[in-house]
Structure 1
C-alpha cells in the first residue's frame, strides 16, 4: 500500500506521498526565493525571454534545447513549465520529480531554471484561484477546454497576476507557446482570454471570485487556492489544537509560499558551524541541526553529496530529535524506524544512535524505497545500523514483540501538512483517502506499541494536522490498551530546541505537538510520544 512518492536523493522533506516511509523530499525546494529574484535577471530581456550574455551581444548561441523549442514564441523556460504541467496532469507525476531532470536534459540552468520552476510550481499551487478567474473570462465551462489549452491559460495567468513579467510579454510569450503546442486556433483563444485577465488587478479578481462562492469558507478556499474540504479540515485542526480558527487564512497563505531549503547537519557527521561558514547558509530557527540555504544547489556541498548532511524540513528534524530525547526506563540500545523510506529521519536517528552506542533497524515496505534508505544511511557508521530491511510495518510488532527501546512511526498520511512542498497534491487528495489511511495508521501504531518493550518510547508522527489522522488515531489505539501512557511532547520538544529559542516556541497547551507553517515556518508535523508500561 503506497501513499507517497520517492525523491531521487532520498531526502526527507515531508511531501506526504509514497510508501510507509518518511515523506519524500523537499518538493518545492528549488523554487525558494525565486519569486524575489527570478524576474530581475539580466539573462532575461524586457519581454521575459531568455537572454544569455552572448545572445545579448547578438552572437550565435548554441543550445541543448530542441530546435522546435527555439522557434519564435517558444521560450525554453516557459516550454519546460508547460511540459511539467502536462506530465503532472497526464500521468499523475509529481512536479519535483519531473522538473529537475527535464531542466538538465534541455540545458536550462541558473536563473532560467528558476523562472521555469516558479512558473511551474506557482501555477500548480494556485490552480484553483486561476481556474475561478478563467471561468469568468470564458464563454464555456473549463472542462470543455482541451487540457493543454487550459494549462497554457493557467501559465499565462500566473505570469500576469503573480510574477513580475510585463503584461505584453506574459501574453505574447504564452500565445506563442500555445501556437507551437496546441495550434493556431487555440492560440487565438489564449490571446483573447489572457487580455481579459490582464485588464483586472489581482485584488479585484479575488474580490469577484470570492463573491461567487456560496459561503465565507468557500470564498477563502477559492481565493487561497485550496479545495474546500481541505480548508475545512485545516480550520478544524486549528480549533482542535487550541488555536484560533481565524488563523486559517494565514495558514492557507503559508501553504502557497515557496518553502526555503532546509539542511540537516547530521550529528557527529557534519558540523553545523562548518556549513554556516558559507554566507548563503544560516542557522534555522528551532532545531540545532537545521540550517537554511538562501540560494544555490544543496548538492554543491560535499557534506550533502556524501550523506553527512541532507535536505530535511526543520519540523521533520524536531520530531526525530524528540524521539531520541524522550525519557525512557531501562536500556537504550535498539531503535526502530518502522516506516523508514526514503530515509531522512532514519539517517538523523542513525547519526544520533552512533553517538550513543545504540543500533538502528530501518524497516520499509517498498523495496525500491528500501534502496533509498540504504543510500541515506551510507554515511552513518556501520556499527550503528543493525539492519535495513523490507517488510510490512504492521507485522513487526507480532514478529518482534517488545524488543526495541525507541520506535519511530512516521505514518503514511494525506500530506496536508506539506502542501507548500508538493504543489499538485492538494488537487489529488480526496476525503475518501482518509478511510484507507486512518485504518493503516491504526494498524501501524498498534504494531509499533507491540514492538517496543515496557519502559520504551514510541513517536507517532504524521505530516498532516488532520484530526482524523492525528488525535483520533492515537485516541482510538490508546483507548484499546492498558499498557500505554502519554509523554509530555511539548516539554521534550522544548528540550531539543535551540536554547535561545525555547521561550519563543509556541507548542500549545495539549500533551502532543502540532507544528504549523504559518507559526513555526515548518511543515505541519504532528508528534505524539507514548511510553509502553508493564
Structure 2
C-alpha cells in the first residue's frame, strides 16, 4: 500500500447497484445515501460524523457488509477530504468553491470509492450519477460522470505524484500524501521534535488515517471486574477492554451504562488524577469541563470507590445536559452544573482536592476517530483556545485546596495547547509544581509506557495506539 493511501476496504457488497448483502434492494436508504447525508451534514451544518453516522445506520437497519460500506465510505471521504478536493479541482478544471455543494459531496464520495476503496470503477461512477439525481442535483449528473471518469484515469499514487510536483518542503509533501492540512503537519512535527522524535512524523500521519479499534472502559465497582487473563484487555489502562464487535451497543453492559466507549488515552487521563495517590474519604473532586461526560463517568465511579464527592461542571447548558444523561445510569448523585469554569477560582477558592481540566482544544489528538476535525479547525483557532486554556488552568489552581492536585489534559499535542499553557500558568505561581506524570502513570498502567522527556505525559497514536492525549499533573503547595 502506498504510504499515503487510505486504508482500503472492499466495496463489493454494495459496489454495484445499491443493494444489501442479500442481493435485494434495501427497504430504507442505501449505504451510499446514508454516507452522503452524513458527509453533507458535516460540510453544511458542522455536524459530528461520529455522532450522526451510527444513528443513521441504526435507523436504516443496515448490518454486516452494508453497514461497513457506509462507515468506510463516510469516514474515508471525510478523512481525505482535502486530498480529494485537490483531485476533483484538477479533474474538473475549476476551483471547488465553484462546484455546487450537493454535487461536490457526491464527487468526494465517488473519489473515495475510486481511489480509496475496492469499488469497481463503473459502479463508483454509475452509482454517483444516480446519487446526484437522488439528492437534488440532477443537472449535475453529467458533470459528475465526466469528472469521476477523469479521476479514475489515475491511481491514488499517480494523483499524489501530480499534486506534489513542485512542492519543495517535506512537510508540504507529507501534508498532501497523508491528507492533513499543512498547519496541522507543522504542529505535529514540532510536538514530536520537542521529544526528539522528529523522524516519526510520517508514522504519526499514517496512524491518523488508520481507523481505531473500539475500546471500552469498565467502570470500577459497577461493571464486572476484568479477569487478569482476559485477552481483550487493553495494553495500558487497568480498566480498558477492546470491544468484541464493531457494535458496542450489542454488549449488555454498554447498554446499561456500566461500560462506556472510551479511548484508552482518555481513561489514563482520568486515572492519572484519581489514582495519583490514595484518596482520603470526604475529598471533593471537580471535573471542570465535563462535557459530554465520558471522563466524568469514570471519575464518578473512582470517587465513589474512594469515598469522595464529584462535582461536574460544563459551560454550555446543552452539554451539561449530556453530562447528566451520561451520569444518570451510574452516578445520579453527582452534582452537575452549567457555568463558566474560568470563575471557579473566585467563587470557590481552595474548595476542591482534585480537579480535572480537560480543556477545550483543537482536537488534533483524535483525528483517527473524528476524521473531519482536521478540516474543521484552522491555525487561527489555536491562539484563542490557548488563551482559554490558560484561564481555565489558572482558575483550577485557585480552586484547588493547598496540597491538592490538578490534572491539565488536552486531546491535542499542539505545543501551544500543551506545554506552553502549563509553562505560562506555572510561571506566575510560586505555589504550584508540575509533578512527574510519567512516573505516576507507571504505577497505574498494566504495561510500561514509552514516554518522552519532561514532567508531562504525551501519548501518541503511532506509539501507543491511543489518541494523542497530553496529561500534566500539578500539585498546589500545602500551607
The answer to whether TM tops 0.5 is yes
- Assess if the C-alpha contact under 8 Å between 2:265 and 2:459 holds in 1: yes
| Residue number in structure 2 paired with 1:440 | 388
Q: Which of 295, 308, 313 lines up with 1:363 in the alignment?
A: 313
Cα deviation for residue 99 of structure 1 reads: 2.3
CA 1:329–1:351: 2 relative to 1, 3 Å: closer
- Indicate whether 1:463 and 2:463 are aligned: no
Which of 185-194 and 516-525 deviates more? 185-194
CA 1:489–1:434: 2 relative to 1, 3 Å: same
- Assess if the C-alpha contact under 8 Å between 2:412 and 2:469 holds in 1: yes
- Indicate whether 1:238 and 2:188 are aligned: no
Q: Within 5 Å, give how 1:274-293 maps onto structure 2.
A: 282-293=232-243
Query: Aligned to 1:341, what secondary structure does the other structure show?
Result: coil
- Mapped to 1, the partners of 2:322 and 2:142 lie a distance apart of 47
Which of 183-192 and 409-418 deviates more? 183-192
- Indicate whether 1:389 and 2:361 are aligned: no
CA 1:425–1:341: 2 relative to 1, 3 Å: same
- Indicate whether 1:515 and 2:459 are aligned: yes
| Residue number in structure 2 paired with 1:20 | none
Cα deviation for residue 192 of structure 1 reads: 2.0
- Assess if the C-alpha contact under 8 Å between 1:38 and 1:114 holds in 2: no
- Mapped to 1, the partners of 2:21 and 2:433 lie a distance apart of 62
Cα deviation for residue 110 of structure 1 reads: 3.5
| Residue number in structure 1 paired with 2:111 | 157
| Residue number in structure 2 paired with 1:63 | 27
- Assess if the C-alpha contact under 8 Å between 1:405 and 1:453 holds in 2: yes
Q: Deviations over 1:405-460 (max 9, x none)?
A: 11111011111111122121211211221222111111111111111111111000
| Residue number in structure 2 paired with 1:494 | 442
Cα deviation for residue 530 of structure 1 reads: 0.4
| Gapped regions of structure 1 (runs ≥ 5) | 1-33, 56-60, 66-75
CA 1:360–1:208: 2 relative to 1, 3 Å: same
- Assess if the C-alpha contact under 8 Å between 1:323 and 1:457 holds in 2: yes
Cα deviation for residue 381 of structure 1 reads: 5.2
Q: Which of 359, 363, 372 lines up with 1:411 in the alignment?
A: 359
TM-score scaled to structure 2, two decimals? 0.93
- Mapped to 2, the partners of 1:167 and 1:232 lie a distance apart of 35
CA 1:363–1:180: 2 relative to 1, 3 Å: closer
| Residue number in structure 1 paired with 2:122 | 168
- Indicate whether 1:300 and 2:250 are aligned: yes
CA 1:276–1:161: 2 relative to 1, 3 Å: farther
CA 1:412–1:391: 2 relative to 1, 3 Å: same
- Assess if the C-alpha contact under 8 Å between 2:10 and 2:119 holds in 1: no
Cα deviation for residue 183 of structure 1 reads: 4.4
- Mapped to 2, the partners of 1:327 and 1:275 lie a distance apart of 23
Cα deviation for residue 284 of structure 1 reads: 1.2
Q: Which of 175, 193, 209 lines up with 1:256 in the alignment?
A: 209
- Mapped to 2, the partners of 1:180 and 1:461 lie a distance apart of 45
| Residue number in structure 2 paired with 1:526 | 470
- Assess if the C-alpha contact under 8 Å between 2:327 and 2:334 holds in 1: no
| Residue number in structure 2 paired with 1:49 | 18
Q: Which of 101, 104, 108 lines up with 2:55 in the alignment?
A: 101
Instruction: Tell me the number of residue pairs that the alignment of Structure 1 and Structure 2 aligns.
Output: 473
Cα deviation for residue 98 of structure 1 reads: 2.6
- Mapped to 1, the partners of 2:222 and 2:247 lie a distance apart of 20
- Indicate whether 1:247 and 2:247 are aligned: no
| Residue number in structure 2 paired with 1:485 | 433
Q: Within 5 Å, give how 1:127-142 maps onto structure 2.
A: 127-142=81-96
- Mapped to 1, the partners of 2:382 and 2:331 lie a distance apart of 39
- Indicate whether 1:325 and 2:272 are aligned: no
Q: Within 5 Å, give how 1:203-242 maps onto structure 2.
A: 203-240=157-194, 242=195
| Residue number in structure 2 paired with 1:22 | none
- Mapped to 1, the partners of 2:257 and 2:279 lie a distance apart of 32
RMSD, aligned CA: 2.3
- Mapped to 2, the partners of 1:329 and 1:264 lie a distance apart of 21
Cα deviation for residue 397 of structure 1 reads: 1.5
Cα deviation for residue 145 of structure 1 reads: 1.4
